[in-house]
Amino acid sequence: MDKLLNENVEKQIHEVFTGLKEPVHVIFFGSKENCEYCDDTRQLVKEVVALSDKLSLEVRDLQTDPSLAGQYNVDKTPTLVLAGKDSEKITDYGVRLLGIPSGHEFTSFIQDILLVSSRDSGLAPATREFLKTINKPVHLQVFVTPT
């Protein structure tokens, strides 16, 4: 498969990744069946991860790794799990990207990597205090469409 990122984009991303603080582990969940964008997503993620030694990639199949998929609450493909990595310990911060991160979503993918690497949400102190008052589970999803 041809490269998806051109040299200019790779250079820009490499420059942005000089700001990575802590290692980030990307887990790609794909499928050999009924997954139109799995191959392109895997290729794109491989190219991005190759731009920094603070990034690592693990490629998994939803059907052959159902236990791991369940551990990360993954039930769709392609899905990217962005987690912290400290030595061999993987810390799940709950950051997921579903579908191929292309177009405007590509910027979100890069920003999410930076966010996980910082190990800080960037939320204001008042927001952090408010969130401490929530006493029941909250399932938050953000949907983006290319329209």
Mean pLDDT, contiguous 10-residue spans, the chain (147 residues): 91 96 98 93 97 97 95 96 94 94 92 96 94 91 70
Can you give the CATH number for the domain in which 83 is found? 3.40.30.10
Burial 59-98 (b: 16+ CB within 10 A, else e): ebbbeebeebbeebebeebbbbbbbbbeeeebebeebbbb
The total domain count for the chain is: 1
116 lies in which domain range? Answer: 7-122
The reported pLDDT for the residue numbered 104 is 86
13 domain-assigned = yes
**Residue 64, domain member (yes or no):** yes
Q: What is the pLDDT of residue 146?
A: 62
Q: Specify the DSSP element, H or E, that contains 105.
A: helix 104-118
pLDDT of residue 1: 73
